[in-house]
Amino acid sequence: MTIAIDMMGGDFAPSETIKGVLQYLSEDNSAHTLALVGHETELTRLVQEHSVPQGRYKIVHAEQVIEMHEHPTKALKEKQKSSIAIGFHLLASGKADAFISAGNTGAMLVGALFSIKAVEGVIRPTISSVMPKENGGTGILLDVGLNADCKPEQLNQFAIMGSVYAQLILGIDNPRVGLINVGEEEGKGNLLAQATYPLLKENKHINFIGNIEGRDILTDKADVMVCEGFTGNIMLKFAETLYEISHRKQVQHEYFERFNFEIYGGTPILGVAKPVVIGHGISKAKAFKNMILVAQKMLEKDVLGKMKEELQ
């Protein structure tokens, strides 16, 4: 399989990206190939400088870069020779099996939604985030911003896609699904949550445990936590500040270190037919390595095939 990497995306690209590639290739014994997408001259110099072993990578030239601040749709349309646009061309034409980037998030989303098909049966793809649990475990929260308004059927699909991801990638057996809500009892909530509850309750593909509240998000109550992308995005960005504030206030505690979402390496777009992983703009070498590993694991475990199956 071939994993394409946007070498130019992110605040520390390409210098940290190449280090991540090197770390991955040094530690991984699989036969997957990396397609390094970026400016050929620069990349050729970088692989030599870092003595990246030959044989498991190829360089794919891209003469443009979509900058972090550019308008996603406009940039993708106008910069057809950018590393992000070319990455999606590789995916769409079958020359790559997965694509990762820490570049312009909006452009990655637009590219994924418009150049790659959705998994059969998916109404709308979703993006998730891991959530560090108080007991040391890891949950998954979704949607975290791709779908600000949702229908109950979408939340029901997020529950399925999140469960497959939790099981195959996070290694959680029979993951417990909780519907994020303002009260515990069935019947509580806004109109969306009220209408979603019965769908989740009837859903044979998931292990639904009922409503969970804001106070349950960091506890061990549920592994897969489902909500629309408005609430999820506010929650995630709030949670991210806990790491920053704890640093600024010099609170030294390993738990708050786990709110540094950069360490998790990136979040996949779930529901598109090929693995697409989006990294934080501030990704460094380890984050890039982890992003490649997530894409690899998604391919090897056939996460998207399993999602398709469960969504039928």
Residue 140 · residue 224 · CB < 8 Å: yes
Smallest distance from a copy of itself to CB 218, Å: 6
Question: Does 282 help bind a copy of itself (rule: CB under 8 A)?
Answer: no
Task: Give CA–CA dist 266/295, Å, rounded.
Answer: 10
Question: Does 59 help bind a copy of itself (rule: CB under 8 A)?
Answer: no
- Choose, by CB under 8 A, the member of 49, 63, 134, 300 that binds a copy of itself: 134
- Choose, by CB under 8 A, the member of 53, 171, 187, 214 that binds a copy of itself: 214
Q: Is the peptide bond before 173 cis (omega within 30 degrees of 0)?
A: no
Task: Give CA–CA dist 157/123, Å, rounded.
Answer: 8
Instruction: Give 225 or 285: the residue with its C-beta nearer to a copy of itself.
Output: 225
Return the HEC string of 113-149: HHHCCECCCCCCCEEEEEEECCCCCEEEEECCCCCCC
Question: Does 248 help bind a copy of itself (rule: CB under 8 A)?
Answer: yes
Residue type at 291 in one-letter notation: M
Question: Does 213 help bind a copy of itself (rule: CB under 8 A)?
Answer: yes
**Part of the chain binding a copy of itself (CB under 8 A), chosen from 14-22, 171-179, 199-207, 228-236:** 228-236
The Cβ of residue 288 has, within 10 Å, a number of other Cβ atoms equal to 31
Smallest distance from a copy of itself to CB 123, Å: 17
Smallest distance from a copy of itself to CB 74, Å: 14
Tell me the site size for a copy of itself, rule CB under 8 A. 38
Smallest distance from a copy of itself to CB 187, Å: 12
Q: Is the dihedral of CA 301, 302, 304, 307 positive or negative?
A: negative
**Part of the chain binding a copy of itself (CB under 8 A), chosen from 93-101, 108-116, 143-151, 202-210:** 143-151
Assigned token pair, 301: 């475990």
Question: Does 65 help bind a copy of itself (rule: CB under 8 A)?
Answer: no
Backbone region of residue 138 per phi and psi (left: phi > 0; alpha: psi in -120 to 50; beta: other values): beta
What are the residues facing 2 on neighbouring strands?
A: 33
Task: Give CA–CA dist 108/124, Å, rounded.
Answer: 15
Question: Does 162 help bind a copy of itself (rule: CB under 8 A)?
Answer: no
Instruction: Give 48 or 250: the residue with its C-beta nearer to a copy of itself.
Output: 250
Smallest distance from a copy of itself to CB 259, Å: 11
Residue 309 · residue 285 · CB < 8 Å: no
Task: Give CA–CA dist 202/186, Å, rounded.
Answer: 13
Q: Restricting to residues 73-112, which ones interact with a copy of itself according to CB under 8 A? A: none
Instruction: Give 203 or 246: the residue with its C-beta nearer to a copy of itself.
Output: 246
Q: Restricting to residues 182-211, which ones interact with a copy of itself according to CB under 8 A? A: 182, 189-191, 193
The residues of the shown chain that bind a copy of itself, judged by CB under 8 A, are: 134, 145, 148-149, 180, 182, 189-191, 193, 213-215, 217-219, 227-231, 233-242, 245, 248-249, 251, 253, 255-256
